[in-house]
Structure 1
Amino acid sequence: MTWIDIPEGSPFGPENLPLGVFRFGDEEPRIGAAIGDHLIDLAPVASAQMLDGSQLFAEPTLNAFLALGRPAWHATREWLLDLVRNENDRDTVEPHLIPLSAVTMQLPFEVADYVDFYASEQHATNLGRLFRPDSEPLLPNWKHLPVGYHGRAGTVVASGTDIFRPAGQRKPPGADVPAYGPSERLDIEVELGFVVGTPSALGRPVSVGAFEEHVYGVVLVNDWSARDLQAWEYVPLGPFLGKSFATSISPWVVSLEALRGAAVPLPPQDPPVLPYLAGANLVNYDITFEVFWNGQLVSSPPYKDMYWSPAQMLAHLSVNGASVRTGDLFASGTVSGAEQDQRGSFIELTWGGREPLLVNGEERTFLADGDEITISGWATTADGSRIGLGEVTGRITPN
């Protein structure tokens, strides 16, 4: 299927070809496509083939490419597939294959806005039981709309960026007044992020059927969370400083076209949703994540059973007339499955810190300075093949 040597187990096979932004030595950042353990430096290849818009691949972000829209995205994917399949293109492409180990990956796109949802019923139920043990775990609105909040675009960072321990107000149980200091309950959230390319007009909602016309692809997301800050501040207006200090994303944007074979029907929703959230062909993706805490696998959350689909998230985000912009990022919220080892946050895995995990022989609950978290993920297609999403990594440093 390709003339390029692909190492066994590589997440970036010839049907994937995700796009990202890299820096090679002292050269300016530009766009590449990952394949195997290399990337294709797209600007010189596109220029050599006199491709329309070849200069866009020399840009330091994907934004200009994302703004072109689905016809251009499809044409670019067809071009990339031809490059790696056609032996006749070898002489053009091979000089511009760069080992991934030789480059530094950058934030792939300039984030315009960031919205975080709360789309996993398992996660919402677990947190409801932890925070409201004497009442129903799901609030009355949860099955009628995709709950979400507007995050902070300026603190979305590239994988590998150190995460400074946030400080703020926290009120320990039994204390009469809050205290200020570094978070003592620093957590992760395993999420899937959706990258908007085509903008919409102010006042014109995006329908569930128009999802693929606006969204180019996906990234892995770790939405770092300071649970003690969050618990004190979130009533009545929701997350703020407990979330806004950092959100890490993976460097490679995997296209929806590459994921098409991994689409699965959305599980049944009861009660029926309102018409603007309804659709005959709503899907999730058969994606499995793996969470490594200082190198040890601690959880494997599945995405396919999420209650709300990404198309419904986008429709709800815009139903009041809010526009979407090129570079918008909206994320699924924590992905958690039904089993204990499928929970996508440490507050769930350790049940609020009461049931520690054994990590490299040490009992652990929340993140300590020096801890490193890596989240990887892959989609499984109907024929059993894998489409890798790469990984997102971050290390905690003292405040």
Structure 2
Amino acid sequence: MHPRTKTSPFRPVQSSITDRPECLKPNSKVQKASSGGTRKCFGLQRKRKTQPLLKPQLKPLQNLPRGFPLLVLAFDFGIMDEGVDNERQEYTLVVRKSYFGLPTACPSCLPVYIYLKFAQLPFRLDFNSTYPDSDQIPYIESGDYVAYNNENGGVIESLKKNGIVDLDSEFYSVPEWLSTKAMVISWIEDALMYELWVGSDCTPAKKIYYSNLPWPIGKVLFLKQVYSVKQRLGITKDNAEQKEEEIYKRANIAYSALSTRLGEQNFLFENRPTSVDAVFLAHALLTLQALPETSVLRSKLLEHANLLKYAEKLKIEFIEAGSSSSSIPYFQSDPPSSTSRRGPPNWSSKPRSKPKRQKTKEEKTFRRRAKYFLATQVVAVILFLSLVTRSDDEVELDEDEGYGYDD
């Protein structure tokens, strides 16, 4: 027993309920009354500290591209950094290589490039020359998001459907805009396709798609694409001349309609850019800078001065203006020739070819593999011929021995 407490030293002293203050007794009136925010104990009155509820804060996100909402409701709990909300995604546009003084000479890639420039959406440009016949190029990617050319109607339509950027939101119910878009993506694109693969000497198409490939591989892929284009346009040996006349006639009608529609405006509709402007501007630049001077389609476009002025102005404003901040080489055209043409003088000359550049590691590897492939094919043919010749000699020898035995 402990001498002072008369209890065990290992057992704590427990006070009885009657010895406790009134405010500490369970189920007491004072304790029940203190649940309202104040508490009385030992003659003192104390207030409980209440934590205020977290209030949502409305934060503006600055420097967002067009098409995004200006305000986003964000709850600030003191954990997320404010800089995370303002961070923008980085987009990468993968296209075919540049040529003819253009950021990309691919007829499918250039409209997407111009559309992103119109929308003022920051992006990084990357080139892919490994698969020249791939229908997935161009494509745009950002993190886990990828939009390919052969899905959902193309890259531009995917960007609009996914809510990234949409320049046509106010024109979906305008009949004139819909008819103009159908005319541009059918008659005008078919005419350029015919010029690149069938109507001319096909030199621009070879430079755009197959200049980095060995001659046998490039030739096979080129003939395959020519056959595909003829099938798409419905061209046969019997109706070749009729189809050519029809294609150029439709292109001339489309140029006249676009020239009338444009007038003296900066853009085709309501003086603001749309996807129709992006597609037609790409067509005009390729026709004027990639096709030779003997091109029929090029000569028909040169007849409309306001379309030439339109293409020249937008090229300077949206393409050449951003060339200094990018790594894309731009090339000057030759001095204008003495022949008089309508429109700006720089359209009357044939652009220079792209100077030689240093090959990338992927291109060197691809070319080396192609050489190995051709070498193995040659060796296989030689071995086959040698084996066939040897077997023929053995057969002749057996026949000679047989005749000698009969004698």
Normalised TM-score (structure 2): 0.24
Structure ranking higher on relative contact order (CA contacts 8 Å, 6+ apart) = 1
Q: Which structure is larger by alpha-carbon Rg, 1 or 2?
A: 2
Q: Where is the strand percentage greater, Structure 1 or Structure 2?
A: 1
Per the normalisation by structure 1, the TM-score is 0.24
More helix by share: 2
